[in-house]
Structure 1
Amino acid sequence: MKHHRLAAAVALVGLVLTGCDSQSAKKELELKTPAQKASYGIGLNMGRSLAQEGMDDLDAQAVALGIEDAVAKKEQRLTDEQLMEAFSFLQQRAEERMAAIGDENAKAGKKFLEDNGKREGVVTTASGLQYEVVKKAEGAQPKPDDVVSVHYEGKLIDGTVFDSSIQRGAPIDLPVGGVIPGWVEGLQLMHVGEKYKLYIPSELAYGAQSPSPAIPANSVLIFDLELLSIQGQGQ
């Protein structure tokens, strides 16, 4: 994460709170008006985002003090050099924490796949992909250049759901060759009408590059996947 990202986030809160004097800011805030609710939501989302990126040791009172000084056009209490030094320190700590989490995920994922591969009904392919056939069917099998319609639910190995077309109640269409490698391989094993459970090693998913806070680096991904149709072929 870049230094300016943290600074920009703090500046955003300052913009949201512009017009609030220091006395009213110290009072217990009642979230009644749309502006108050939206302001709270922005602060909540910013806090969650920073915490997910390892910035969970920020001092909320110091953040508020910086906002008050900026809104009141007071002279800043720290030099730019001191601020940059502090940003660098927090960035380094955040990167160290995220690296440690990635290492833990890699170890936990390896152990999970080793144990899971021993279960009856679980097949492990040459690439390391693991799958179970939940429901068999005799439909066509897709090719890499096909577009398919699927229903799915994705989980981490601890059971946390990070995405689900099933919960949204709307299947998605996607190109077989345009998804993560574990899906590319898994979809081509399936017949239309079948349901599989895929256990995808991190190297066949997103590896060390976390695509979002919901999927930490080096995560093994588990998908309940149903192949509904191949575009142009029907059921």
Structure 2
Amino acid sequence: MTYGQYAPPKKPKTGLWITLVLVFVLIAGGVAFTGFVTPGFFKAKADTTSRATPEQLSQSFVNGVAEDRLSQLWCPIRSKRSYSFEQVMAATDGAQLGTPARQRAPQEYSATLNAGGQTVGIAMIPGEGGWCVRDAKIGGEPEPLPGIETKPSPRPDVKTGEEAGNKFVDAINARDIPAALSVLCEKVPDTTRDGVQQIIHGEGRYTVDNADVLTTAKQTILHLTGEVDGVRNPGRIETEDDAEGGPCVASFSPDSD
């Protein structure tokens, strides 16, 4: 160094290191927030498919409400009101398990969950590949079925269409699926058979107001009053009075006449 020349002092690097540390902390914090909170790519996916036991199914159902993924958890035939429930739950932020799964019938369990400020009860029965949800009821637990057998009982010995229609109504009110199916005509479409079971799963009740016997047409029309989920509507049954094997129910309209 030549005397008389000025050498500027070296600047300390402490400030640079502090800045780098702060930037790193901010970046790490942002990644952690977005990973765990926003899109949640660090979080484990909620299980919405397990249904080997009623306990697993009820938790999968709770998770499915939050994820809007319930399709794999329903039974192939389920209550009509469960479709309305699914639409209501689609607008909620999620659900929490209220009452754990508990047995209420020989082959049926129930549980409750809290969602959208409401208590919802679900009924679970064994199905293909595990347990499935057959009914969802807002405001309480569904009433258990007397049994889950769906094979029709032997055709009852009835003499008139009116008698067949009344036996059909009695079976629905008793929530007896085999007895209700046994009075249906053999050629009714599968949608009618499924619809009868949907009504029974959902606790519908009916009374026969009057019957019109159409002798020439060989059929009887029974006019009903039905109550489903607290709502009263007219209903209608038409029978085939000269069917092979005896009079039988040819059609059932659960909420219109």
Provide TM-score, normalisation by structure 1.
0.27
The structure with higher relative contact order (CA 8 Å, sep 6+) is: 1
Provide TM-score, normalisation by structure 2.
0.25
